[in-house]
Amino acid sequence: MSFAADHLLDRLRLKRRLRLWQGIGIVAIVAALFALAARFELMGAQEHIARIWIEGIIQDDAERDMVLRDLAEDDSVRAVVVRINSPGGTVVGGEALYRQLRMLSERKPVVAVMGEVAASAGYMTAIAADYVVAREGTITGSIGVLMQSANFTKLMDKIGVEPVVIKSSPLKAVPNPMEAVTPEAKKATQAVIMDMYDMFVGMVAERREMTLEQTLKIADGRVYTGRQAKENGLVDATGSEEIAYEWLETEKEIPPGLDVFDVEYGEEDFWMTAKSTLLSGIFDKTLISEGLRLDGLVSIWQPNLQ
């Protein structure tokens, strides 16, 4: 009998503990739900400035485009600050981001704030904004387009390898590392490059209110510091992010003191990659590694490490 009573008491104690932990768990879940609801209500209803980060290699991104469309439709977003820290990316990626930011700016003010690097497609992104701010030491410019390949024919001759290429026409799949570039292939490839370059130059001329002649003088592919970019008209001001908020207050009558909410998108590993992309993107952009990641025409700045 004593054993049965002790067993019963133990079961009762266990049930009490279970109920206690169940109650704690329910309270924690309810508190989390309230906090989450409050956060969404705060970001969805309270007027604020949205800040979106464009970092690393710029590529076409449907999710990013959807986020920008949502910002345009969100009445609680009074303005958007675009923080750019990118050496560039694909022409399509830069063009898509440029077009999306231009549509966003039709609904609310957009300010671009450059970080360490905002070159090539990164600069293409910046000029979509209504106002462009750079640090004095920001690397920017690099207005141009490139397509990279290699010629392995001499190496293959030395090791006794003869490539066999069968194609429908001489200009199919050129440039090709397994073939010497013919004058016709070079001319056709150059025409594609120049067409994309003309598009880029046209964007700069329109957005920076320059003549074509003025734009071509500074659009020779070179990079500039933020100070130089301010002198030649590629940016509007040099300084910190505070310059962007001051401009929004004085020129767009955005109330001072609004909260600034970061807009997050993409998976977690994307952000982990993005934080390290600046250095790895610059110093790992060799011909082969970049060719594996970026397919087609690119507008990207890379220092010559040879």
**Which listed residue (86, 105, 108, 120) is catalytic?**
120
Q: Is 120 a catalytic residue?
A: yes
User: With contact defined as beta carbons under 8 Å apart, do 89 and 121 qualify?
Assistant: yes
Q: Which residues contact 31 (CB under 8 A, 6 or more apart)?
A: none
Contacts 24+ apart (CB under 8 A), 288-293: 290/148, 291/148, 291/149, 293/57
The share of the chain scoring above pLDDT 70, in percent, equals 74
| Separation of alpha carbons 250 and 229, rounded Å | 23
| Catalytic annotation, pick one of 15, 167, 172, 217 | 172
Residues 6+ apart with CB under 8 A from 9: none
- Contacts of residues 16-19 at CB distance under 8 Å and 24 or more positions apart, as own/partner, are none
Distance (Å) of CA 56 to CA 108, 140, 208: 26, 14, 24
Question: What pLDDT is recorded for position 267?
Answer: 54
Question: Mean pLDDT across the stretch 80-88?
Answer: 97
Structure tokens at 81: 């600050």
Question: Average pLDDT for residues 103-118, to the nearest whole number?
Answer: 97
Which domains does the chain show, CATH number per domain? 49-148+220-300 (3.90.226.10)
- Give the integer Cα–Cα distance in Å for 251 and 164: 63
Q: Where does the pLDDT of residue 177 fall: very low under 50, low under 70, confident under 90, or very high at 90 and above? A: confident
Q: Strands, E, within 165-228: which ranges?
A: 223-224
In this predicted structure, the answer to whether residue 11 has a pLDDT above a threshold of 60 is: yes
Res 199 pLDDT > 90: yes
DSSP reduced 3-state for 87: strand
CA atoms 253, 255, 257, 263: torsion sign:
negative
Task: Report the C-alpha gap between 42 and 76 in whole angstroms.
Answer: 10
pLDDT > 90: percent of the chain: 58
Which tens digits make up the pLDDT trace of 138-151?
999 999 998 887 88
The candidate with the shortest Cα–Cα distance to 126, out of 247, 263, 236, 254, is 236
Q: Is 142 one of the catalytic residues?
A: no
**Sign of the torsion angle spanned by Cα atoms 299, 173, 157, 292:** positive
Q: Compute the C-alpha angle 203/208/211, nearest 5°.
A: 80
Q: What is the mean pLDDT of residues 88-95?
A: 95
Q: Convert the pLDDT of each residue in 274-295 to its tens digit.
A: 333 433 433 333 333 343 334 4
pTM recorded for the entire structure: 0.75
